[in-house]
Amino acid sequence: MTTNKAFLLDSRPGERPAGPHNFRLVETPLPTPDEGQALVRHLWLSLDPYMRGRMNEAKSYAEPQKLGEPMIGGTVGEVVESRLPGYAPGDLVLGMGGWQLYSLAGRGHLHKLDPRIAPPEAWLGPLGMPGVTAWVGLHEIIEPQAGETIVVSAATGAVGSVAAQLARRAGAHVIGIAGGPEKCAFAVETLGADACVDHRAPDFSERLKAATPRGVDGIFENVGGEPLEAALTRCNPFARIAICGLVATGYDGTKAALRNFGVTLAMRLKIQGFIVSDDMSLWPQAQAELTRLHATGALHWRKTVAEGLEAAPEAFFAMLKGGNFGKQLVKLR
């Protein structure tokens, strides 16, 4: 192949809701690596909720995605040409190549992968950023103790599925929240949750109350909105809440804030938002544990795969509405 294809962020969401129309597919000549660079052909692209926030121009923990440039995204790929010492054609690498078929990367932006440890795409899921996010939020913020009740929203998603399993291994009672009977069954039967509550059920709050008779000691929050509001009302004094994602609150600001925020004072809750890149020193410890669990078959995960780069925009927005089951990936080869 002599050309590259990429989805650029062409416009920011405004009065018109965000959608595939905000992206533009372009075809350009294949780049040539300079000294200190490697050309990588992407095999897998990760789609993650944080990307929606990057489409906005508002102040956040990271710079907004620049217009006219390939959309940000984690990738696993194969080096096809290298002028970067230590990297040779055929090496399998993890990077942030974005929504495109090829990318150039320099030292510090690529990490070699050993395909004998796990399938390449696993490094975009339980062994990579989503898995480490679960590990950090659970162990550094919630710090579950044996016998405590921990609620995990989006419990079958890329992050939530790992958080639920780690909480269970810590000896906690795990209550998942997911959308639909199939996902709830997976949370209980495969991930080991003690129960899972369908947030689509008309009596969701009542079901959550019944599933948490001893109250809630920790919440791993991936969604926000009604699931978080209901879980907060079940909190015991000094419960700990790790805020990982708030997709249901609306990245465009259209959804209302929490209606029962007063419980945070009454129950003296600890609520902490976090970004997994805040403390990179924790990554080796987290990945070592996750890799050990994967090697023994104790770390379960599921993926939803869209075929081809052209499918990325539709798959991305479907994921934000819960259309995926597990980790959302795009297979590029």
How does pLDDT run across 19-55, given as a tens digit for each residue? 999 999 999 999 999 999 999 999 999 999 999 999 9
**CA distances for 133 relative to 198, 275, 299, angstroms:** 23, 8, 15
Instruction: Map out the domains of the chain with their CATH numbers.
Output: 3-125+302-331 (3.90.180.10), 129-277 (3.40.50.720)
Could you give the CA distance from residue 271 to residue 224 in angstroms, rounded to a whole number? 13
Please state the three-class secondary structure of the chain as a single string: CCEEEEEEECCCCCCCCCCHHHEEEEEEECCCCCCCEEEEEEEEEECCCHHHHHCCCCCCCCCCCCCCCECCCCEEEEEEEECCCCCCCCCEEEECCCCECEEEEECCCCEECCCCCCCHHHHHCCCCHHHHHHHHHHHHHHCCCCCCEEEECCCCCCCHHHHHHHHHHCCCEEEEEECCHHHHHHHHHCCCCCEEEECCCCCHHHHHHHHCCCCEEEEEECCCHHHHHHHHCCEEEEEEEEECCCHHHCCCCCCCCCCCCCHHHHCCCEEEECCHHHCHHHHHHHHHHHHHHHHCCCCCCCEEEEECHHHHHHHHHHHHCCCCCCEEEEECC
pLDDT given at position 248: 74
Q: How many CA atoms lie within 13 A of 257 on its CB side?
A: 3
Per-residue pLDDT tens over the stretch 52-83: 999 998 877 778 999 999 999 999 999 999 99
pLDDT given at position 251: 58
pLDDT given at position 279: 86
Could you say which DSSP state residue 18 is in?
A: P
**Regions of the chain short of the pLDDT cut 50:** none
Q: In what order do the strands lie in the sheet with 195-198?
A: 195-198, 173-178, 149-152, 216-221, 235-243, 270-273
pLDDT given at position 255: 59
pLDDT given at position 258: 72
pLDDT given at position 17: 85
The b-or-e profile of 160-177 (16+ CB within 10 A means b, else e) is bbbbbbbbbbbebbbbbb
